[in-house]
Structure 1
């Protein structure tokens, strides 16, 4: 099916080679230790969630596959939001260049880059988990309501 082929392309031509590349490049980032660790964690989690999703599909455990791939996609989109977070943090920190950073604009940029490296994937992953739990809670409530309706009808 198309879903199967798109999934294979996503994993084998996208996530897997890119995740391995990020593992190699992240420790060399010029934006500082905080950014290096944040991007390394992103790569590890991106690979782990994608591998878990792929394995679940291979085992025909499609409910779990869907959950892992939602997490993987949330991490995939983090690079786009990283730029938005960076702009926001630069805007927020710029007024503090002279006070907090002693006029060192590079230090301020490193702080903004470090914060955005973490926020871009942590927020996405939290939203994905909220989405998954929200759906689970809704299904539990629906099932509980159906059971109560059956009891009331009896």
Structure 2
């Protein structure tokens, strides 16, 4: 009897194959970055002390700090669940967990976080260009996340994947934003030593505009690259 390729070269045991897919370097790096971000910033807000807030609290608006806490809490849910959403291992091996985490991501994470960002914006310290950038981030996030959820309900899986990858890029732009803001501040400060306003403006542009623009560009590049590998047009 003629042997098939599977008989000539046995497939690896399921446990070993699954283990390789789960421990992908990209997933490990993403998890470490999110964990580090939470360790650095989240404890300040767990105290519920406005004095510990890294974001200046508007004392003239009593709801500013509660809304800020709600925004950070839902944003934390979004960061945790988005890791589960981009795991191909979880999607294939545990589709029910993938669907549950997806609903948490949309309705308890990124969705309310974006809405609360818009609600807090008029009472925060961001003004001008940085406020527009942050508001546009929230609107785009709501748009692509809603489109991704609707596509899933309609079983348009290719569209669902594309929209949710853009949502992932927008959700994780907080990580990119912190890095770009800090990097821009220290890079520009020596150039404009006598103009803190100029330094702050440039740093805010990097932290509230370039953060999500860079992430969207990376997602678009990834989709185009993966589409070419699969032999898809475009």
* TM-score class normalised by the smaller sequence: 0.7 to 0.9
Higher RCO structure (Cα 8 Å, ≥6 apart): 1
- Structure 1 stretches of 5 or more lacking a match? 144-154
1:34/1:58 CA distance change after superposition, 3 Å: same
Deviation for aligned residue 1:109: 1.5
**Please, which moves more after superposition, 30-39 or 121-130?**
30-39
Give deviations 1:49-96, integer Å, cap 9, x for gaps: 100000001001111111110000000000111110011101111112
The 5 Å alignment of 1:3-152 reads 3-98=98-193, 103-140=194-231
Provide the rounded CA distance (Å) in 2 between the counterparts of 1:90 and 1:66.
Answer: 35
Q: CA RMSD in A?
A: 1.7
Aligned length: 138
1:108/1:31 CA distance change after superposition, 3 Å: farther
- What SS class does the counterpart of residue 190 from structure 2 fall into? helix
Deviation for aligned residue 1:29: 4.0
Provide the rounded CA distance (Å) in 2 between the counterparts of 1:140 and 1:25.
Answer: 45
Provide the rounded CA distance (Å) in 1 between the counterparts of 2:171 and 2:211.
Answer: 10
TM-score between both structures, scaled by the size of structure 1: 0.83
Provide the rounded CA distance (Å) in 2 between the counterparts of 1:36 and 1:28.
Answer: 11
More helix by share: 1
Deviation for aligned residue 1:117: 0.8
- Structure 2 stretches of 5 or more lacking a match? 1-95
